Amino acid sequence: MKAKDRTEALIRQYSVLERLHYALDQGQSELEQAIGWPLCIENCGKCCEVNTPVVLDTEVHYILSTVAYLPEVREKLVERSLDWLTHKHPGLSYGKIKGLPKTDEERKLLAYEATFLSSKQCPYLESTRCLIYDSRPLVCRRYGVTCPPDEWCPRKLHWTEAPGRRMIIGKDTELGQEIDKLSRQLCRTVNGITGHYVGFLPTAIARELAPERLGQIADQIADAKMAVGKPVLDLFYYKGRVLC
């Protein structure tokens, strides 16, 4: 593919992603008006303590484009990504999954371990603030908007809500349908630029910003941390974060 065609395709994907960001921001605004107060408590960070983002490849390029000229942030991203990759999370497999295609048992093992990892603290959480908040992934943006927050979420409840039953933007609404449509567009292949695979954000950042260092520590990294899968559109609505 010509470089010009690839650039134009990537720009189109960015456009879809930004429209999706806008739709989710609109959803947040509508919910805040309905309940009467912000969805997120300032300097909370509770959801970041139980979520290491699984992201689309288009998102990775978008996130990195916002920090490419910020050396301090870029360095922090690299170091925290590599630290996460080499951290010995208990119960993970090392060197058992080799090559493609994978057996059904290998897929099940990767899915199980990836789900476990996705519930661990994000490496980009600084005290109670996100290092990349302005360009944060969709899995973070949808929380509390199209995905019901967990019962422990400390935001105040509307009188019609309960800890396990919160207002969200559902697929039966006009805005919810727009979010669903944009999500599908984002996962579509366009001239070789795709959003059609997902993986852990720390892994993707290390691959893009520090490939040589990543290669040097490859034997120290759990199989599931390197896993790549197909996107599940329910990532934009529900709590499932499993890699396929």
Q: What is the pLDDT of residue 98?
A: 66
**Distance between CA atoms of residues 95 and 99, nearest Å:** 10
Residues 35-59: tens digit of each pLDDT: 999 999 888 999 999 999 988 888 8
Mean pLDDT over the full length of the chain: 84
Residue 219 per-residue DSSP state: G
Residue 57 or residue 154, greater confidence: 154
Distance of CA 136 to the CA centre of its chain: 8
Record the tokens describing residue 180, joined without a space: 């669903």
* pTM, 2 dp: 0.86
Report, in this order, helix, strand and coil percent for the chain, each rounded to 5. Answer: 50, 5, 40
Residue 199 or residue 81, greater confidence: 81
pLDDT reading at 29 higher than 80: yes
CA angle, 219 as apex, 98 and 230 as ends, to 5°?
45
CA torsion, ordered 226, 204, 45, 86, to nearest 10 deg = 50
Identity of the residue numbered 86: T
CB under 8 Å, gap of 24 or more: what pairs does 164-171 form?
A: 167/31, 167/34, 167/35, 168/31, 168/144, 169/27, 169/30, 169/31, 169/145, 170/146, 171/237
CB atoms within 10 A of CB 95: 10
Q: Using pLDDT thresholds of 50, 70 and 90, give the confidence band for residue 215.
A: very high
Q: What is the pLDDT of residue 236?
A: 44
Q: Are 221 and 86 in contact (CB under 8 A)?
A: yes
Locus of tokens 């605004």: 29
Burial 100-133 (b: 16+ CB within 10 A, else e): eeeeeebbebbbebbeebbeeebbbbeeeeeebe
Q: What is the pLDDT of residue 234?
A: 45
